[in-house]
Amino acid sequence: MCVAGFAGGAARGWHDNVARISTASGSVSPMEAPQSPGAPASAPPFAEPTPLGLLGLAVGCAALLPIAFGQALTPAAFRTAAMYCLLFGGGCQFLAGVMALANKNLLGGTLFTTFAFNWVINYLTLKGLSEGVVPDSHVVLAVDVCFLVIFVVLTFAFGFFSKLLFAFLLDIDVLFACRIAREVTHAPAFALPIALATVALMGIALWLAFAILVNSAAGRTVFVVPGPLFKPGPA
């Protein structure tokens, strides 16, 4: 996250999701394909793709920050940010999503792939803004409401896996709530909270990616990822 369109010469949003997180020197997956008792564990066809998706998300968010803070609202800035959104926000997350699905990680693959296409929408929106074409605010608002519903539910679900991942999703909830409030009230005061939420989203995405990459390489916990916020009930 982040993911969404832009309008009125300012950032309209961004977002995304994580499917796997690192704890200690390994990783936790919210949804793996179940293994039959006694069946030999089969190696996934690809290495863990989550860091690729998270780093792509972080780079996409970084490209949006000058626009979000109102420091670069020129056609050149829109065109430049659009390319980063396409290649990193869209490309990295699409690759991560496809590989996660091939690894039988249903939740992660679904999220990364879905929101990769939303980053493509970011690219098209920014490219349009650079040419003076503003997206329809009614369509953007409807999609934002849909995404907020999705993320509120996922925030609760990911609380069963990590407090940091819960905070990651909660940050996206706040971001989309501010986007919706700004669209409904037309109040420019929501621009700063949206920009700050994007900074937080980038920071958490980087931390989670580094936790998976560095903890695995070091064989010990370098980047700490806290455990679950909620405890699942008995099966």
Q: What pLDDT is recorded for position 118?
A: 87
* Residues 204-221: tens digit of each pLDDT: 999 999 999 999 999 999
Task: Write the CB contacts of 231 (distance below 8 Å, at least 6 apart in sequence).
Answer: 160
Answer with the residue of higher pLDDT: 104 or 16.
104
Q: What pLDDT is recorded for position 174?
A: 96
Give the mean model confidence (pLDDT) for residues 123-149. 95
The verdict on residue 90 lying in a domain is yes
Answer with the residue of higher pLDDT: 46 or 4.
46
The verdict on residue 206 lying in a domain is yes
DSSP state of 34: P
Tell me the helix, strand and coil percentages in the chain, rounded to 5.
Answer: 65, 5, 35
Q: What pLDDT is recorded for position 17?
A: 34
DSSP state of 8: T
Task: Read off the tokens for 185.
Answer: 């009230």
Would the pLDDT of 23 be above 90?
Answer: no
Whole-prediction pTM: 0.81
9: alpha, beta or left? (left if phi > 0; alpha if psi -120 to 50): left
Answer with the residue of higher pLDDT: 76 or 33.
76
Count structural domains, the chain.
1
Q: With H, G, I as helix, E, B as strand and everything else as coil, classify residue 223.
A: coil
* 111 pLDDT tier (thresholds 50, 70, 90): confident
* 106 pLDDT tier (thresholds 50, 70, 90): confident
Would the pLDDT of 31 be above 70?
Answer: no
Q: What pLDDT is recorded for position 235?
A: 62
Say how far residue 114 (Cα) sits from the centre of its chain.
10
When the pLDDT of each residue in the chain is averaged and rounded to a whole number, the result is 84
Determine the Cα–Cα distance for residues 9 and 73; give it in Å rounded to an integer: 6
DSSP β-bridge partners for residue 97: none
Lowest average pLDDT, out of 8-12, 27-31, 87-91, goes to: 8-12
Residue where the block lists tokens 């907020």: 148
Residue where the block lists tokens 């309008």: 7
Give the mean model confidence (pLDDT) for residues 163-178. 93
Nearest to 199 by CA among 66, 70, 80: 66
Determine the Cα–Cα distance for residues 57 and 103; give it in Å rounded to an integer: 20
DSSP state of 219: T
The domain of 143 spans 48-216
The verdict on residue 123 lying in a domain is yes
The verdict on residue 20 lying in a domain is no
The verdict on residue 196 lying in a domain is yes
First-to-last C-alpha distance (Å) of the chain: 33
The verdict on residue 227 lying in a domain is no
Task: Read off the tokens for 6.
Answer: 């832009």
Task: Read off the tokens for 13.
Answer: 């949003």
Would the pLDDT of 19 be above 50?
Answer: no
The verdict on residue 36 lying in a domain is no
The verdict on residue 66 lying in a domain is yes
Q: What pLDDT is recorded for position 40?
A: 56
